């Protein structure tokens, strides 16, 4: 919000505002179809046959200027992105696809529509950008190729609708005497302008000083500068600190620069030339030795790949840049760091063949363990799904020593085998347009939920065009001649049928009628509230009550904790969620008009603990009566949650830190007092005790108000989060954790500051 207000404030004086007409022009298609040649023809440069292959992406800022079709004296300016067509780039190119861009999809009639993979490119665009993508399909070499451009226009228009603007034929090497351009170029320019004029950003307003700062930055020769230098340029044009940060974020969103201000490891660097960065990643992806080593890229080989590469007239990168590149590769899910910290694994280059696995789905699970099967059914299988899932689940990668003396990781081009040391094992495998997920554990529901949420977050964030076009299903359990039935039962539909009173439902393939409750076993767990009550009851009876089935209860507690923390995050994302509150005088009998001490808690999984760094995470203050009443419902909920996790978290925290940072008896006594006191308030004050839930929320309205009151207090007492003692870290499940410095640093990748 602060950045939005900074942008709006910059537009208050009309004399200082300019109107911009800018867009991206993106050239895509297979290698050697003429993208670079066409771009030269469009921009007035001299094209030639046999242009050098593009490695990564070639970017030319404001390469093309075209008159506005409807407004005199207005020029539309285009930043041209020429994408390398090699298949190895398909996964990473998707990061740079964006809405409100004109896409030129090139194909060559001599090679044909299928060999040029026109539909594959259209599908990739639709998955990443959605129906809002605007594509002009251009056949090249229409004069020199000696082939007629045969393409099924009606079928493509039927399947992709408004995505396809039109079809054109060009030849970038033959002059058109009537237009003064190359053949077809004049018509293409007109169509590009007609397409771009409808974009929302056409006519966008920008403060003149912001525009001058942007232009000066983009004119710098350096491909990468520090954020301090970025700030210095903006300061010369009168921009404040918040305006500078807003401009950096805006330039990143529009594709001018690469800047991640919310990432502690990357926030000091600004890439002014994204092309420079994409080429470095391209050299890694094209490295044959890395492919031969099943994706292993030791730090010792980085100079060979990035400096001593065989590509003439391409950048060569000094070793001081390698830690920065590795961090960005992790940001883009290209690689993950090996456990010993000596190298990285590039997930696109894992082995083709599935290795032998500890177990297979068709085998019976081990005694005292259950197995859950689930299938993600997709209308289209997005490119990069498995490589990105490998990176996002790498903390669970199963490693095994083989007879060759090497350590092998159990992932392959179509899947992976995972192990969560506390919560079980899983196998994921892509089969055509279905991702099969099998989880085995004493209580496999938790690990299943973690993997499902990780997959769902990846799909929804990375491929918006797939939303509403995939679902999670239970596979039909029927087997015929030891072959599994191909039937699928959508989990959401089964739940609806059960609520409507249906008992059995037939499989559409084998026609067998199955019991719905049996099909949903493992997916119809109690609500998070019901889980909390069940676990509270167990814990109140003493730790021995759960010790006999410790593995099961560890997973149950982790599952409900994840659910409740996610529910809280859905209501307010800008502050910590766990805390304890106590009167400084220790007297809980008189709750009002007195001083309180508020302790914040680290949210590390299975190791929750109070912030214990000196002078951090603790606030002493005079608490007004109204504030105590307002925060009480949420404080009561948090006390109940903490009481259920502490039997496992306290010994884990003390072991992790190597000292007794929390006394079990003292903490439990404090939580009991907090729970009882806030519970008394709930009974006495009807407005607080109101049980009504917010729509689609786990929290009551009173609990949500208490959470907001907590965050409002923290913003007032500590507006810049300097005393929290916690850092916010996003997770692959789409949630986040507020972690103490020790747990935060432990979660960071082991990339050294210097690599020689």
Long-range Cβ contacts of 67-72 (<8 Å, 24+ apart): 67/193, 68/21, 68/193, 68/197, 69/190, 69/193, 69/194, 69/197, 70/197
Q: Residue range 707-730: average pLDDT?
A: 94
Local confidence band at 91 (pLDDT 50, 70, 90 cut-offs): confident
Spatial separation of the C-alpha atoms in residues 195 and 78, rounded to whole Å: 12
Q: What is the pLDDT of residue 228?
A: 97
Judged against a pLDDT cut of 70, whether residue 626 lies above it is answered with yes
In order of their start, the domains of the chain are: 2-7+203-271 (1.10.10.10), 22-196 (3.40.50.300), 274-349 (1.10.10.2200), 372-519 (3.30.310.200), 570-747 (no CATH)
Spatial separation of the C-alpha atoms in residues 154 and 156, rounded to whole Å: 6
Local confidence band at 689 (pLDDT 50, 70, 90 cut-offs): very low
Terminal Cα distance for the chain, rounded:
42
For 529-543, what is each residue's pLDDT tens digit? 888 888 888 777 766
Judged against a pLDDT cut of 90, whether residue 59 lies above it is answered with no
* Mean of per-residue pLDDT scores for the chain: 90
Both tokens of 316, joined, read 């060569």
Spatial separation of the C-alpha atoms in residues 294 and 316, rounded to whole Å: 25
Long-range Cβ contacts of 257-264 (<8 Å, 24+ apart): 257/217, 258/328, 259/227, 259/230, 260/331, 261/227, 263/331, 264/727
Judged against a pLDDT cut of 80, whether residue 659 lies above it is answered with no
Local confidence band at 697 (pLDDT 50, 70, 90 cut-offs): low
Local confidence band at 544 (pLDDT 50, 70, 90 cut-offs): low
Spatial separation of the C-alpha atoms in residues 361 and 356, rounded to whole Å: 13
For 137-192, what is each residue's pLDDT tens digit? 999 988 886 677 789 999 999 999 999 999 999 999 899 888 989 999 999 999 99
Residue 409: half-sphere exposure toward Cβ, Cα within 13 Å:
28
Residue labelled with tokens 């002014």: 272
**How many residues would you count in the chain?**
756
Residue labelled with tokens 């007004």: 624
Both tokens of 268, joined, read 């000091």
Q: What is the pLDDT of residue 196?
A: 96
Q: What is the pLDDT of residue 346?
A: 97
Rounded percentage of the chain residues whose pLDDT exceeds 70: 96
Task: Tell me the range of 91-95, 96-100, 421-425 where mean pLDDT is highest.
Answer: 421-425
Local confidence band at 296 (pLDDT 50, 70, 90 cut-offs): very high
Judged against a pLDDT cut of 70, whether residue 693 lies above it is answered with no
Rounded percentage of the chain residues whose pLDDT exceeds 90: 66
Local confidence band at 52 (pLDDT 50, 70, 90 cut-offs): confident
Spatial separation of the C-alpha atoms in residues 575 and 480, rounded to whole Å: 54
Residue predicted with more confidence, 661 or 414 = 414
Q: What is the pLDDT of residue 664?
A: 64
Spatial separation of the C-alpha atoms in residues 559 and 384, rounded to whole Å: 28
Spatial separation of the C-alpha atoms in residues 326 and 604, rounded to whole Å: 25
For 435-450, what is each residue's pLDDT tens digit? 999 999 999 999 999 9
Local confidence band at 695 (pLDDT 50, 70, 90 cut-offs): very low
User: Using an 8 Å Cβ cutoff, are 714 and 575 in contact?
Assistant: yes
Comparing 545-559, 661-675, 692-706, the range with the smallest average pLDDT is 692-706
Judged against a pLDDT cut of 80, whether residue 644 lies above it is answered with yes
Both tokens of 729, joined, read 């870290």
Coil, strand or helix at 610: strand
For 385-408, what is each residue's pLDDT tens digit? 999 999 999 999 999 887 777 788
């Amino acid at each position: 919000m602060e950045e939005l207000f900074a942008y709006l404030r910059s537009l208050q004086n009309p004399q200082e505002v300019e109107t911009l007409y800018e867009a991206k022009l993106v050239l895509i298609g297979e290698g050697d179809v003429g993208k670079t040649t066409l771009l030269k023809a469009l921009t007035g440069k001299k094209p030639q046959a046999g242009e050098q292959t593009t490695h990564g992406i070639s970017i030319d800022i404001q390469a093309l200027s075209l008159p506005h079709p409807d407004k005199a004296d207005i020029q539309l300016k285009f930043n041209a992105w020429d994408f390398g067509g090699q298949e190895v780039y398909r996964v990473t190119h998707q990061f740079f696809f964006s809405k409100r861009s004109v896409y030129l999809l090139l194909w060559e009639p001599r090679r044909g529509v299928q060999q040029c993979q026109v539909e594959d490119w259209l599908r990739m665009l639709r998955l990443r950008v959605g129906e809002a993508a605007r594509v002009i399909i251009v056949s090249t070499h229409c004069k020199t190729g000696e082939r007629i451009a045969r393409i099924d226009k009606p079928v493509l228009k039927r399947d992709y609708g408004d995505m396809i603007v039109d079809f054109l034929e060009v030849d970038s090497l033959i002059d058109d005497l009537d237009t003064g351009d190359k053949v077809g170029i004049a018509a293409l320019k007109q169509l590009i302008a007609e397409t771009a004029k409808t974009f929302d950003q056409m006519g966008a307003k920008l403060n003149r000083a912001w525009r001058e700062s942007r232009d000066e930055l983009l004119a710098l020769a350096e491909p990468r500068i520090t954020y301090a230098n970025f700030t210095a340029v903006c300061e010369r044009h009168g921009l404040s600190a918040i305006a500078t940060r807003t401009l950096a974020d805006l330039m990143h969103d529009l594709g001018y620069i690469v800047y991640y201000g919310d990432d502690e490891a990357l926030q000091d660097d600004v890439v002014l030339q994204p092309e420079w960065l994409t080429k470095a990643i391209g050299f890694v992806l094209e490295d044959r030795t890395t492919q031969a080593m099943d994706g292993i890229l030791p730090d010792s080989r980085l100079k060979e790949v990035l400096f001593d590469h065989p590509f003439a007239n391409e950048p060569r990168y000094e070793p001081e840049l390698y830690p920065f590149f590795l961090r960005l590769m992790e940001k883009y899910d290209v690689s993950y760091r090996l456990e010993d910290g000596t190298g990285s694994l590039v997930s696109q280059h894992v082995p083709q063949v599935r290795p032998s696995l500890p177990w297979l789905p068709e085998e019976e699970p081990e005694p005292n363990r259950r197995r859950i099967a689930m299938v993600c059914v997709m209308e289209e299988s997005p490119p990069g799904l498995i490589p990105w899932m490998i990176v996002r689940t790498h903390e669970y990668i199963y490693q095994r020593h083989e007879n060759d003396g090497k350590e092998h990781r159990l992932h392959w081009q179509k899947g992976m085998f995972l192990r969560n040391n506390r919560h079980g094992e899983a196998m994921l495998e892509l089969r055509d347009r279905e991702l099969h997920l099998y989880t085995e554990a004493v209580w496999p529901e938790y690990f299943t939920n973690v993997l499902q949420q990780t997959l769902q977050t990846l799909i929804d964030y990375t491929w918006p065009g797939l939303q509403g076009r995939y679902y999670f299903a239970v596979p039909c359990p029927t087997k015929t001649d030891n072959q599994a039935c191909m039937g699928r039962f959508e989990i959401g539909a089964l739940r609806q049928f059960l609520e409507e009173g249906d008992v059995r439902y037939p499989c559409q393939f084998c026609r067998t009628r199955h019991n719905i409750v049996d099909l949903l076993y493992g997916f119809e767990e109690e609500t998070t509230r019901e889980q909390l009550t069940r676990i509270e009851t167990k814990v109140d009876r003493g730790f021995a009550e759960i010790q006999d089935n410790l593995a099961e209860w560890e997973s149950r507690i982790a599952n409900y904790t994840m659910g409740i923390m996610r529910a809280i995050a859905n209501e307010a994302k800008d502050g910590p969620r766990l805390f304890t509150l106590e009167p400084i005088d220790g007297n809980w009998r008189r709750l009002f008009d007195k001083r309180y001490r508020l302790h914040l808690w680290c949210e590390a999984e299975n190791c929750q603990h109070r912030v214990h760094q000196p002078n951090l995470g603790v606030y002493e203050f005079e608490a007004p009566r109204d504030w105590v009443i307002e925060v009480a419902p949420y404080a009561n909920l948090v006390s109940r949650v903490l009481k259920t996790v502490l039997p496992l978290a306290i010994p884990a925290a003390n072991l992790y830190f190597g000292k007794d940072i929390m006394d079990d008896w003292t903490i439990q006594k404090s939580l009991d007092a907090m729970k009882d006191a806030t519970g008394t308030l709930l009974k006495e004050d009807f407005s607080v005790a109101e049980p009504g839930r917010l729509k689609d929320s786990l929290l009551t309205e009173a609990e949500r108000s208490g959470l907001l009151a907590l965050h409002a207090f923290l913003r007032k007492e500590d507006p810049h989060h300097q005393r929290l003692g916690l850092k916010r870290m996003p997770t692959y499940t789409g949630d986040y954790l507020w972690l103490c410095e020790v747990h935060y640093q432990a979660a960071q990748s082991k990339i050294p500051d210097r690599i020689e």
